[in-house]
Every structure is written in C-alpha cells, then in structure tokens.
Amino acid sequence: MKGTRTPGMGKCGVVLSFLLIVFGQAGCQPAGLWGSSELAAGAGKAAWAGEAAPAAGSAREGAPSSQDGALSVKLATAKAQPETQPETQQHPRPKTAPKPSPAEAEKPTGSAGKAEKSKVVALTFDDGPDGKYTPQVLDILKKYNVKATFFVVGKQVEKYPDVTLRIVREGHDIGNHSWSHQDLTKLTGQALDDEIDRTQEAVAQAAGGYTPDLVRAPYGAISDSLLDYLHDRKFHHVYWSVDPRDWAGTPVAAMRENIRKHVRPGSVILLHSFGGRKHAIEHTVELLPQIIEDLRKAGYEFATVDEMIDAEEANASVIK
C-alpha cells in the first residue's frame, strides 16, 4: 500500500529504501528494485519519514523534491551557524541612526506630518529711500550680510534713484508702497492705478528695469476689494507681524524687547528707513545691529519676503 512499509522487508528493505532516497535526491531511480515507480515513491516516503505518509493537504504532503531537500539542508546549516552576520554585506545597515543635517534639524515634523516653519524672519523697511538714513541702514545690512525688503514710496524713488539702485544691487527686495503714501482703500479707478503704476515705473527706471511684485498698503489699510485689485495684477500684499513702532521715536531698549518677545518663525518685522517723527529713524539705525545679533544668537536666519514666499515659509495671515 502506498505510504507503508512492505512486510518482512528487514535490513535489506532498509538499505534499499536508503538507496532510493539517495537516487531520488539525484533525480534518478534504479530500475527493478521495486515493482513500480509509485510503489518506490511510497517506500521512499515511508523511509524518509519513518512512518506512514501524511494525508493529502498536510504540511508534509508528498515526498520532498530535490529543491525542498536542498532547502532543508540550507536551513539546517543556517541554524547551526552563529546568528551574527558577516561584516561585508552588500548593503550593511548602520548600527545607529544617522544624525539629521542642520537643515533637517531646523524643520521638525509636527503631529500632522507637516514640516514646521524654519527659524526665518524678514526685516522690512518702509517709506524710503532717502539720502540720510537709508544709506546707513544699507551699510549695516551689508556689514552683517543680511538681506531685507524695502517698501518704497514712488516720490522718494524719484528723488533718490541712486539709493534705489543700490538697494537692488546689494541683493535686497523692493516692494511698492504707493506713489504718495495715501490710504489706498479710499481710492478707486485711475487714482488707484496711478499710485501703483507710477511707483512701478519709477522703480524700473531707477533700478535698471526691476519691477516689484510686492505691495504694502500705507498704514496697513487693506480691504477685500483692494486685495482683489492687487491679486488681479499678480501682486502679493505684505502686512507685518512685529511692530516695534520705530516711526514714533520709541526708545531703543523698548523696541529691542518688543522684537525679542514677539518674534516667531516666519515673522515679518516692520521698520522704517525714512519718515516718522523727528529723529525717530536715528533710533532705528541704532537698533538694527542689536536685533540682528539678538536674532542670530536665538538661531534665526534672515530672508527677503520673496525668498520666504518661494520657500513657503510665509504666514498666510501676513502675506496674501
């Protein structure tokens, strides 16, 4: 019967069974040792297992093929070897996790899986240029290798084209702050067009064709209709998130503390390079080196507003 030993086989049967296993592993079978290949296979299986053949569908169904036998030998050999792997693998795994780069460390991932904002801030200067304070501001920025954004008034650009050109040549951004510093929410039609267009033309003429794509409405006065108007013309409107009130002549120490207390990643800091109360911008010039050093010590980097937009570091509530 298939899967059982033949009665009375004795030692010879055992020897023949062993020979069947050996020849079976080699892919051949000695003819005439058993009456049929089916009977030989049954005896071979019985001798391999040392018991009756398992029923069909069990984990050990049928005799092991030459591949199965080789696999069993490999598994047995692997179990006998130590568990440690050789040092020279094709793709060795690092024993410790690699440390993140500085750029990765500055962009931790929040609970929602979205990267948090980098510690980047933008310094912005309104109402210039002029021939006294704006050049001093530019000197300080150059000394500290900081790039900033200047929201210029068209009339001032017309008066100081050389300072406007210097702003662009030294790698800073220029934004449109209207022609005459009027409340744009109270203007419509041609009057509104003139405030924007004349400033665009003055900047382009002074700065070798540079055309701003940023607008900051004077006084921060903005409305839905004004935003729609600016967006239709492909401008971003830029508000601010930190205001030390330098235009009012605020003491330097108070402005410094204001910035330290309120700055956050993505902050846009409002300063002035012209205008304000008498001698107010002198305080700004004194303040500027101090806040640059303070913010750098706190791990912040500086960027222009356009750079923040391109890097998706801008706050949507500030830059629209």
Residues identified as active-site: 126, 272
Q: For residues 79-115, b (16+ Cβ closer than 10 Å) or e, as one string?
A: eeeeeeeeeeeeeeeeeeeeeeeeeeebeeeeeeeee
For residue 287, give both structure tokens: 């303040």
Closest CA to 152 of 192, 201, 185: 201
- Preceding peptide of 129 cis, ω within 30°: yes
Q: Which two tokens stand for residue 59?
A: 């984990």
Beta pairing, strands 268-272 & 301-302: unpaired
Please tell me the distance from the alpha carbon of residue 165 to that of residue 170, in angstroms, as a whole number. 9
Count of alpha carbons within 13 angstroms of residue 194, beta-carbon side:
9
Beta strand pairing status for 149-152 and 268-272? unpaired
CA pair distance 180, 192, nearest whole angstrom: 11
Q: How far is CA 281 from CA 85, 91, 285, 304, in A?
A: 69, 62, 6, 21
Of 178, 171, 126, which Cα lies nearest the Cα of 150? 126
Q: Which phi and psi angles does 230 have, rounded to 5°?
A: -65, -40
Residue with tokens 């303040």: 287
